[in-house]
Amino acid sequence: MIYLELLLSFLQIGLLSIGGGYAAIPLIQDQVVVRHSWLTLSEFTDLITIAEMTPGPIAINAATFVGIRVAGVPGALLATLGSILPGCCIVLVLSVLYRRYGQSRGLQTVLSTLRPATVALIAGAALTITLGALGLSQGAAAGFSWVRPVIILAAFLLLRIRKTSPILVIFASGALWLVWQWASGALTV
Amino acid sequence: MEQLPEKKKPPYGRLFASMFVISACTFGGGFVIVSLMKKKFVEQYHWLSAEQMLDMTAIAQSSPGAIAVNAALQVGFYLGGGPAAAVAVLGTVLPPVVLLSVISLVYAAFRDSLIVATLLQGMQLGVGAVLLDVTCGLAKPLIKKRDWLAIGIMLTAFVLSWVLKINVMYIVLGTALLGVLRAVLAAKKSGGGQRE
C-alpha cells in the first residue's frame, strides 16, 4: 500500500534527520531514490534545487514533492505528516519539561551556558548565507559584483537603525537585484 | 516575564498569521526562520524574552526534524498549550506544502526561469542582512555585560562549527555538558554552605 509506505518512509526521515536542513538530504535520497525508486536521481537533484529556491524546511518540501508525484494530494499530506511527527512528539515532551523545570536554578545554569553557543551557531549561519549571497562561497556560479555588498549593507542598516520589517527588506533586496540585473543587461526578458 | 501568558486567551490568529507569513517568506535553513521569529515574537509582540527564544532554538536544533517546525511548536505551546502549538505548526507547514504542490506540477518551467533565479539570488542578500542583524542583537548584550565566560563559549562554538565544521549536535551536547558541570558545582557550593 503506497500511502503506508510513504508515511513510514517519511517517519524514518523525520526521526533520523537531526540538525535540520542539510542533514535530511542523504536520508531522503536513500528512501526516495535508492529504496523505493519513487524519483530518479536527476529528478531528485531537481527537487533539491527547487527546495532551496522555495521557502520552507527542506524535509517538508521534499515530502510534499515526492508525495504528490507518487500518490497525489493525500500522498503529499501523509508524507508531510510523517516528516514532522517524530520531531513534534519529542519537542512537545521537551516543552513540557521546559515549562516545569525551566525556571529551576540548575536548568537555568545549563541553559545560560548553552545560549552563547546558540548565538555562535546563528552567527555561523549568518556568515555562510551572506558569503553565498555575495557570490564569494566556493562553487558559486555568479561572479562578484559591488552592488551585492551595497544591498546587504543598506538592508542591514535599515534593519538595525530603522527597525524595518525583515520580510519587506528581503523582498526589496530581491526586487532591487532583479532590476539591477535587468538594467545592466544581464537579464534578457 | 513572570506573568504566564496562558492566563489570557492565546493569540491564535496572530500566532497563525505570523508563522504563515514567516514560513512563506523564509528562504534558507532553520536559523533564518528562527531569526525572523525572534524579531516578530521578541521584538515586536514581546511574547517571549530573547533568552527564551534562544532556549527554544537550542531545543529545536537538537531534536529531530525541521528546526522551523520544532521552534514554532514550542512558541505555540508556551503561549497556549497543545491547541496553540498545533496552530503554530499548521501555520508553518501550510505554505511550503501548498507552494510545493503547485510547483511540482510546473517544476521544469520554474527551475529554468532566469527571472525567478535572479529574484531569489537578490532575496538571499536580504536574508543575509537579517541574519547579521539578529546576530548583532543577540551578541551585543553578552559583550556589553563583559560576560567573559559567555563570550569565550560563543567564540569557541563559532570556531568549532564554522571554521572546523564540527557537527552542530556535538557542539550543543558538549556545551550542555559544560552547563551541567557548572550546575553541579554551584549546587555543591551552596549545599556545603548550608551545612556550615
Least confident of A49-53, A161-165, B190-194: B190-194
- Quick check: B64 and A129 CB within 8 A? no
Exposure of B5 by Cβ count < 10 A (0-12 exposed, 13-18 middle, 19+ buried)? middle
| Grid cell listed for A19 | 540538525
Note the pLDDT of residue B15.
95
Question: What residues does each domain of chain B span?
Answer: 5-110
Q: What is the pLDDT of residues A85-136, one digit of tens each?
A: 999 999 999 999 888 888 888 888 888 888 898 889 888 888 888 888 888 7
* Start-to-end Cα distance in chain B: 35
- Over 80: is that where the pLDDT of B78 sits? yes
Q: Answer yes or no: is pLDDT of B194 > 50.
A: no
**CA R_g for chain B:** 20
Q: What pLDDT is recorded for position A62?
A: 87
Query: What contacts B54, CB < 8 A, 6 or more positions away?
Result: A114, A115, A118, A119, B138
pLDDT of residue B123: 85
Please indicate if any CB of chain A lies within 8 Å of the CB of B59: yes
Is residue A170 packed enough to be buried (19+ CB in 10 Å), middle (13-18) or exposed (0-12)? Answer: buried
Of the two residues B47 and B124, the one the predictor is more confident about is B47
Q: How confident is the model at residue B196 (pLDDT cuts 50, 70, 90)?
A: very low
Q: Write out chain A residues lying below 8 Å of B151, CB-based.
A: 116
Angle at A88 between CA B19 and CA B50, to 5 degrees: 50
Q: What pLDDT, on the 0 to 100 scale, is given for residue A11?
A: 92
Predicted pLDDT at B192: 53
Cβ atoms of B62 and A18 closer than 8 Å:
yes
Contact present, A171 and B25 (Cβ < 8 Å): yes
Which residue type is seen at B28?
A: G
Residue A147's H or E segment, with its range, is helix A147-157
Residue pLDDT, tens place only, B107-140: 778 778 888 888 888 888 888 898 899 899 889 9
Q: What is the mean pLDDT of chain B?
A: 86
**Average pLDDT for A149-153:** 95
Looking at residue B7, what DSSP letter applies?
Answer: G
Binned at pLDDT 50, 70 and 90, residue A56 comes out as: confident
Residues in chain B closer than 8 A to A18 (CB atoms): 62-64, 169
- For chain A, the domains span 2-101, 115-183
Phi, psi angles (nearest 5°) of residue B139: -80, -30
Q: Does A53 touch chain B (CB under 8 A)?
A: yes
In sequence order, what are the residues at sequence separation of 6 or more whose Cβ sits closer than 8 angstroms to the Cβ of residue B181? none
Min Cα distance B195 → chain A (Å) is: 19
To test the contact with chain B by mutation, choose from A13, A54, A92, A182 the residue with the greatest count of B C-beta atoms within 10 A, namely A54
Joined together, the cell numbers standing for residue A127 give: 556568515
d(CA A152, CA A158) in angstroms, rounded, equals 10
What is the distance in angstroms between the Cα of B20 and the nearest Cα belonging to chain A? 10
Chain A residues with CB-CB distance to B25 below 8 A: 55, 167, 170-171
- Looking at residue A107, its pLDDT comes to 83
Asked whether residue B2 carries a pLDDT value surpassing 60, the answer given is: no
Give the per-residue pLDDT at A138. 56
Contact criterion met (CB below 8 Å) for B52 and B41:
no
Task: Please name the residues in contact with A114: beta carbons below 8 A apart, sequence gap of 6 or more.
Answer: B54, B55, B58, B172, B175, B176, B179
Question: Per residue in A59-94, pLDDT tens?
Answer: 888 899 999 988 999 999 999 999 999 999 999 999
